[in-house]
């Protein structure tokens, strides 16, 4: 079997187009422009690239983008004061603090200072609790993107066996909650899981989020299963730096029913879902109905 390639780049473009058309309607019918504030502390090169890309795509869908670039030495008090200002600013519907933060700043404290209604990353403890109890929340962007692709491919996920490799707060755990919410039978695996291969082989859906280049070989995949590869790993191959996922793409694609490539799979969906979350936050803040198909 050769797997169907789930084209995250094309799907992300569709999501952005949907967001853009809602934004146009919001402007015309309600006189509201959604706004996303992104806060970057320090000069981490990867974070700078992400923040630039987020700002550019925010503007492209017609939203306002507010970038706050702070000195690496910024104090916690100053950062919290900025978040407080953004929380109170009616033009700002979404707030994202780019992680990782410099070591002298307490990420949990900072994230939990964001108004949960504006927490478009879905990392605030209130949103984690709401998601865990099946209530309306802001859903973390990467798992939301994975869920959208799975729903698009399968329709209903009810009754499917799903394995999530990785238990991080930003990917693995919320991914498992979302799959459970869609009535999958969910297993969460991690570095202490015994016989990972056997656990994977039972799954109709494998979501790999471990951060280990090409760790999952094709013979761990049940024939016909759907493989969502969240991993982004830079490795040297044939004298070049290349991007690979957590799944060995060639061998897995020979067995799976469907698979996301790296790059061009989950990655593009993450920013598209950030824009979707900002739109959702804006609609909720204004008592308007939420866009369909853009939330969990």
Enzyme catalytic residues? 54, 98, 121
What would the two tokens of residue 113 be?
A: 């200072």
CB-wise, 151 or 284, nearer to ligand NDP?
A: 151
Give the whole-angstrom CA distance, residue 89 versus residue 81.
12
Which position's Cβ is nearest ligand NDP? 168
Q: How far is the CB of 281 from ligand NDP (least distance, A)?
A: 20
CB-wise, 209 or 283, nearer to ligand NDP?
A: 209
Upstream peptide bond of 100 is cis (omega within 30 degrees of 0): yes
Among 170, 243, 254, 288, binds ligand NDP (CB under 6 A): 170
Where do we find the tokens 């569709």? Answer: 14
Asked if residue 118 lies in contact with residue 89, where contact means CB atoms within 8 angstroms, the answer is no
Give the whole-angstrom CA distance, residue 216 versus residue 197.
8
- Contact flag: residue 243 with ligand NDP (CB under 6 A): no
Report residue 155 CA to chain centroid gap. 20
Segment contacting ligand NDP by CB under 6 A, of 14-22, 109-117, 209-217, 235-243? 209-217
Give just the sign of the alpha carbon dihedral 144, 150, 153, 157.
negative
Among 48, 112, 126, 233, binds ligand NDP (CB under 6 A): 233
Radius of gyration of the chain (CA): 19
Segment contacting ligand NDP by CB under 6 A, of 13-21, 83-91, 169-177, 280-288? 169-177
Q: How far is the CB of 90 from ligand NDP (least distance, A)?
A: 30
Segment contacting ligand NDP by CB under 6 A, of 41-49, 87-95, 129-137, 170-178? 170-178
Among 210, 216, 276, 296, binds ligand NDP (CB under 6 A): 210
193-227 burial code (b ≥16 CB/10 A, e <16): eeebeebbbebbbbbbbbeebbbbebebbbeebbb
Site residues (CB under 6 A) for ligand NDP, limited to 128-157:
142
Among 26, 83, 171, 276, binds ligand NDP (CB under 6 A): 171
CB-wise, 94 or 174, nearer to ligand NDP?
A: 174
- The DSSP code sequence of 248-290 is -HHHHHTT-SEE--SSSSHHHHHHHHHHHHHHHHHHHHTTPPP
Among 192, 194, 237, 240, binds ligand NDP (CB under 6 A): 192
- Contact flag: residue 278 with ligand NDP (CB under 6 A): no
4: three-class secondary structure by DSSP = strand
- Contact flag: residue 231 with ligand NDP (CB under 6 A): yes
Among 211, 254, 284, 290, binds ligand NDP (CB under 6 A): 211
Give the whole-angstrom CA distance, residue 192 versus residue 290.
40
Site residues (CB under 6 A) for ligand NDP, limited to 78-137:
none
Torsion angles phi and psi, residue 55, rounded to 5: -60, -45
Residue 67: strand pairing partners: 38
Rule CB under 6 A: which residues touch ligand NDP?
A: 142, 165-168, 170-172, 189-193, 196, 209-212, 230-233, 266-267, 270
């Amino acid at each position: 079997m050769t797997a169907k390639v789930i084209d995250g780049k094309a799907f992300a473009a569709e999501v952005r187009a949907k967001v853009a058309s809602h934004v146009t309607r919001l402007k015309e019918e309600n006189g509201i422009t959604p706004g996303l504030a992104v806060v970057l502390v320090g000069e981490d090169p990867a974070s700078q690239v992400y923040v630039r890309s987020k700002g550019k795509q925010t503007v492209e869908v017609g939203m306002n983008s507010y970038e706050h670039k702070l000195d690496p030495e910024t104090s916690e008090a100053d950062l919290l004061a900025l978040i407080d200002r953004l929380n109170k600013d009616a033009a700002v519907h979404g707030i994202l603090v780019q992680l990782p933060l410099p070591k002298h700043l307490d990420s949990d404290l900072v994230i939990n200072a964001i108004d949960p209604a504006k927490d478009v990353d879905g990392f605030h403890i209130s949103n984690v609790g709401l998601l865990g109890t099946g209530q309306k929340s802001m859903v973390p962007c990467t798992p939301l993107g994975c869920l959208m692709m799975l729903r698009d491919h399968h329709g209903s996920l009810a009754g499917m066996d799903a394995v999530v490799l990785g238990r991080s707060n930003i990917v693995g755990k919320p991914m498992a909650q979302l799959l459970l919410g869609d009535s999958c039978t969910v297993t969460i695996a991690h570095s202490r899981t015994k016989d990972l291969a056997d656990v994977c082989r039972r799954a109709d859906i494998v979501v790999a989020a471990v951060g280990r280049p090409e760790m999952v070989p094709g013979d761990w995949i049940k024939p016909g299963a759907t493989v969502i590869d969240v991993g982004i790993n830079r490795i040297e191959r044939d004298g070049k730096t290349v991007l690979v996922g957590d799944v060995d793409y060639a061998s897995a694609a020979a067995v799976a029913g469907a698979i996301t490539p790296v790059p061009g799979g989950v990655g593009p969906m993450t920013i598209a879902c950030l824009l979707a979350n900002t739109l959702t936050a804006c609609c909720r803040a204004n008592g308007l109905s939420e866009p369909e198909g853009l939330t969990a």
